[in-house]
Amino acid sequence: MTGTAAADNIRTGDGNDTIIGGAGNDTINAGGGSDRLIGVAQNAVNPGLGEIDILQGGAGGDIYIIGNAATTFYDDGNTNTAGTTDYARIVGFNASEDLIQLTGPKTNYILGTSSIGGIAGTAIYIKKPIGEPNELIAIIEGVTGLNLDSNVFIEAQNEAGLLSFSQATFSTPESDNATITITREQGTVGAVSVTLALTNGTATAPSDYDNSTITVNFADGENSKTITIPIVNDTTYESNETVNLTLINPTNGASLGTQKTATLTIRHVRNMNWVQKNGRK
Residue-wise pLDDT tens digits, 174-189: 989 999 999 998 778 7
Q: Residue 183 and residue 165: Cα distance in Å, rounded?
A: 6
Which long-range contacts link 107-116 to residues 24+ away (Cβ below 8 Å)? 109/148, 109/153, 110/134, 110/148, 111/146, 111/147, 111/148, 113/144, 114/139, 114/140, 116/84, 116/87
Q: What does the alpha-carbon distance between residue 102 and residue 154 come to, in Å, rounded to a whole number?
A: 6
Q: Is the pLDDT of residue 147 over 60?
A: yes
Contact call for residues 253 and 158 (beta carbons, < 8 A): yes
Q: Reduced to 3 states, what is the DSSP secondary structure of residue 226?
A: strand
- Whole-model pTM? 0.62
Under 8 Å CB-to-CB from 129, ≥6 apart: which residues? none
- Topology (CATH level 3) of domain 162-272: Immunoglobulin-like (2.60.40)
Measured distance CA(58)–CA(93) in Å, rounded:
9
* Whether the predicted pLDDT of 271 surpasses 60: no
Q: How confident is the model at residue 18 (pLDDT cuts 50, 70, 90)?
A: confident
- List the domain boundaries for the chain: 9-155, 162-272
Which residues have CB under 8 Å from 183's CB, separation 6+? 163, 164, 165, 166, 223, 224, 257
Residue 279 has pLDDT above 60, yes or no: no
E strands in 21-152: 27-29, 36-38, 52-56, 63-65, 87-91, 99-102, 109-114, 121-126, 135-141
